[in-house]
Amino acid sequence: MTQNTPHFPLFVDLTGKRCVVVGGGPVAARRADVLARFGAAVTVVSPVWSGSAGNIQWLRRPYAPGDLDGAYLAIAATDRRDVNHRVGCDARALGIPVAVADRREECTFFFPAVCEGGGAVAGVISQEGTDHQRAAEAAKAIRTALEGLD
């Protein structure tokens, strides 16, 4: 990705599309829950899982080659740099969009803070995808504005 070019916000229909989340901690759980809420067929690959069981398939094991086969998009959100890197490399080799939680430069897309309300959906990232505090503040302001539309 070019560092100085702003990122284009793209909204896609995830209904029934296979999305693979590698990791079982809080970041992975939040991302899996958002994807499932938007209709994705979510598969989580991780020996442990801190998320909800509803509508999410959990493969209770470490990431392995072939786990991304048939995926529409991938999320690498483990606490292991080597695993996140492998998921990113595998996804890019397969042409699957991937968000790598611990390395901006390995992402082909950024997972936004999702804001919903009043029949509207907004996705928020900081301009360069690096200032998470700024994105959180912007998301909070947008959520407040959207609440006023209900």
CATH tag, 18-106 = 3.40.50.720
pLDDT at 32: 96
Q: Which of 136, 87, 137 is nearest to 107 (CA)?
A: 87
Q: Give 97-139 pLDDT, tens digit per residue.
A: 999 999 989 999 988 877 777 777 777 665 555 666 776 777 6
Phi, psi of 29 (to 5 degrees): -60, -45
Q: Which amino acid is at 38?
A: F
Query: Are 98 and 84 within 8 A, CB to CB?
Result: no
Q: Give 5-25 pLDDT, tens digit per residue.
A: 777 778 899 999 999 999 999
pLDDT at 40: 95
pTM of the model: 0.85
- β-sheet with 18-22: strand ranges across: 56-59, 41-45, 18-22, 73-76, 98-100
For residues 52 and 29, give the distance between their C-alpha atoms in angstroms, rounded to a whole number: 8
Domain boundaries, the chain: 18-106, 113-148
> Coil, helix or strand for 97?
coil
pLDDT at 24: 95
Q: Give 44-93 pLDDT, tens digit per residue.
A: 999 999 887 778 999 999 999 999 999 999 999 999 999 999 999 999 99
pLDDT at 116: 75
